[in-house]
Amino acid sequence: MSILSHAKRIVVKVGTSTLTHSTGLLNIRKIELLVKILADLKNAGKDLILVSSGAIGVGVGELNMKQRPTDTPTKQACAAIGQCELMYIYDKLFSQYNHKVAQILLTRDIIEQDKRKQNVQNTFHRLLELNVIPVVNENDTVSVEELEFGDNDTLSAIVGTLVETDLLLILSDIDGLYNKNPKQFADAHLIHHVPNISQEILALAGGKGSALGTGGMITKLNAAQIALANGFPMVLLNGKHPEQIYQLYDGETVGTIFGTSERRL
């Protein structure tokens, strides 16, 4: 059994660079393959929660903008447009495999206010009981400064905690954690297992990888810290090759595993 085949409940986070071309428009081939594999995990009996980035990037593409906006209202407008398109695509693709999706948009105050947190947990749990795949994103219309999670890596780890997940799977534009930023150093090598997040591990994160990506490696390591502190492991895979999810399922050595699966399983 692998860390993935073992897990009953899985939060999957997918980054902008996986979902979109450099033009900002949706990478249809990639997203179709990803949905197919996730639908298969669902068919294998997993509870699935998808945290999807990409709303701003898709909105930028929809509006034919030459580059990503820098001012907050335009980013929020792009997110509102792109979120709608993203959900339409997920709904359409998952329904081909007879799976239903639901949209959940969150702001940071849900972790600070008990009543709100409880409402969010109730919604997640009922959706999972109803066999629906919640698709989560930050509520960009409301989320400015003190209300924001900041990045979807952190958001996905917080969602993992809220739904008591068995595993957090982050799909990025890179094969996993390297000993240094592979976009800058040709001799960087992949680290397959990180049992704990030490200061030395945090120091390995360089800058972000692409114009459309937002977090870079540091937010993925922060997510791993939250995951491990809350008793579930995290795996970082390359979203450019969604079939790596099958390799992980089959127990092959792929990506970077943070922590171990021992506590929950």
Residue choice 2, 74, 121, 210 for contact with ligand ADP (CB under 6 A): 210
Name the segment binding ligand ADP (CB under 6 A); options: 30-38, 109-117, 126-134, 207-215.
Answer: 207-215
Comparison of 59 and 182: residue with beta carbon closer to ligand ADP: 182
Comparison of 217 and 248: residue with beta carbon closer to ligand ADP: 217
d(Cα 29, Cα 50) in Å, to the nearest integer?
18
Q: Greatest CA span in the chain, whole angstroms?
A: 50
Distance of closest approach, residue 183 Cβ to ligand ADP, in angstroms: 4
Contact flag: residue 181 with ligand ADP (CB under 6 A): yes
Comparison of 216 and 233: residue with beta carbon closer to ligand ADP: 216
Q: Binders of ligand ADP among 1-30, rule CB under 6 A?
A: 15-18
Nearest-CB residue for ligand ADP: 209
Distance of closest approach, residue 72 Cβ to ligand ADP, in angstroms: 20
Distance of closest approach, residue 204 Cβ to ligand ADP, in angstroms: 4
Written as six digits, the tokens of 108 are 């940071």
Which residues, in sequence order, are CB contacts of 187 under 8 Å at separation 6+? Answer: none
Is residue 15 left, alpha or beta, with left meaning phi > 0 and alpha meaning psi from -120 to 50? beta
Q: Report helix angle 72-95 to 28-43, nearest 10.
A: 50
Contact indicator for 223, 170 with CB cutoff of 8 Å: yes
